């Protein structure tokens, strides 16, 4: 308690007159004025810690800015830590990704093998027949049959003697879709060596004997004839001045 004079001067307790103005004193209680912003029982040195520290307040959908109600409508969301483990937030790799990549690699490798190895080496039946029956191959085939001579010197002599009769007799055209047999004329091949090429082609293409005999018996007056068998069709004609011309195509 302190004594206050009528002029508002405070004086020590028990004083009868104001030490400042000399006025008689009246006893008056002066309450301590709390500092603004403090709650009773709190001191300025220890402010109350805020609640939901490190949290942000989100408002419900549909409420405008400044209209966030207090109480149950306020939801606190924890802020992500700056030191979170990056492996925990990394998106997981799908389990099916690795098998798909492996299968795709196998398919690509298979396509490359087909394009680089298989297709270049793939031959049509007519191409295989042409490779087996062109040049002196029919003569070599005949010499290799059982009972034929196997004297290397004699074989070489026969090839040298009759090779010209077979040169260019068999050819393949139209990207392997057509095989042509063109024997020499009777004057250029008086021994009929070109027949060996016809026999070779007939064997390679599994030509029926009926068709083969019809080809070999064709006369100039017969005109152009034709025949078919499994997978192939052929047309041919013969004249002594031109030889036998036969065209075989794939069906």
Q: What gap in Å lies between CA 84 and CA 171, rounded to an integer?
A: 78
pLDDT, residue 74, reads 46
* 17 and 134 fall within a common domain: no
Query: Model confidence over 42-64: pLDDT tens digits?
Result: 444 444 544 444 444 444 444 44
5 touches 18 (CB < 8 A): yes
* pLDDT at residue 236 in the model: 98
Largest CA distance in the chain: 169
Residue 157 lies in a domain: yes
Ranking 30-39, 193-202, 225-234 by mean pLDDT, the lowest is 30-39
Confidence of residue 143 (pLDDT cuts 50, 70, 90): confident
Q: What is the mean pLDDT of residues 243-247?
A: 97
- Please tell me the distance from the alpha carbon of residue 189 to that of residue 176, in angstroms, as a whole number: 27
pLDDT at 9: 80
Q: Is residue 69 part of a domain?
A: no
- For residue 108 the two structure tokens come to 């690509």
Mean pLDDT of the chain: 76
How far apart, in whole angstroms, are the C-alpha atoms of residue 44 and residue 7? 32
Whole-angstrom Cα distance, residue 218 to residue 212?
A: 10
Q: Do residues 26 and 129 share a domain? A: no
Long-range CB contacts (within 8 A, 24+) of 30-37: 30/1, 30/2, 30/4
250's CB contacts (< 8 A; 6+ apart) are 124, 125, 126, 177, 231, 232
Tokens for 206, please give them: 């599994």
Report DSSP state, residue 225: E
Domain membership of residue 14 as a residue range: 1-30
Does residue 136 share a domain with residue 26? Answer: no
In a domain, 46, yes or no: no
- Return the minimum-mean-pLDDT range out of 39-43, 138-142, 154-158: 39-43
Note whether residue 20 is domain-resident: yes
The residue-averaged pLDDT of 137-156 equals 70
State the pairing for strand pair 55-58/10-11.
unpaired
Give residue-wise pLDDT tens across range 107-124.
888 777 656 565 556 899
* Number of domains making up the chain: 2
Neighbours of 240 (CB within 10 A): 10
Sign of CA dihedral 82, 84, 88, 90: positive
Q: Rounded to whole angstroms, what are the CA distances from 68 to 14, 60, 192?
A: 57, 8, 112
């Amino acid at each position: 308690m302190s004594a206050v004079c009528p002029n508002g001067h405070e004086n020590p307790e028990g004083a009868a007159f104001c030490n400042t103005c000399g006025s008689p004193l009246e006893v008056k209680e002066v309450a301590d004025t709390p500092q603004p912003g403090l709650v009773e029982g709190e001191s300025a040195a220890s402010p109350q810690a805020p609640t939901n520290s490190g949290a942000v307040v989100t408002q419900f959908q549909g409420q405008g800015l400044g209209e966030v109600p207090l109480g149950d409508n306020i939801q606190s969301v924890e802020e992500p830590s700056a030191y979170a483990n990056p492996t925990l937030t990394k998106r997981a790799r799908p389990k099916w990704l690795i098998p798909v990549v492996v299968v795709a690699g196998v398919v690509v490798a298979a396509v490359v093998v087909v394009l680089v190895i298989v297709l270049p080496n793939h031959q049509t039946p007519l191409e295989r027949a042409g490779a087996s029956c062109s040049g002196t191959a029919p003569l070599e085939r005949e010499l290799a049959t059982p009972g034929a001579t196997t004297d290397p010197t004699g074989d070489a002599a026969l090839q040298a003697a009759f090779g010209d009769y077979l040169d260019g007799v068999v050819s393949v055209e139209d990207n392997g879709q057509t095989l042509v047999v063109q024997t020499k004329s009777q004057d250029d091949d008086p021994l009929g060596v070109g027949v060996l090429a016809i026999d070779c082609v007939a064997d390679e293409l599994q030509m029926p004997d009926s068709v083969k005999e019809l080809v070999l018996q064709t006369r100039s007056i017969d005109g152009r004839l034709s025949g078919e068998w499994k997978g192939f069709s052929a047309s041919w004609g013969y004249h002594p001045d031109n030889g036998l011309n036969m065209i075989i195509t794939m069906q």
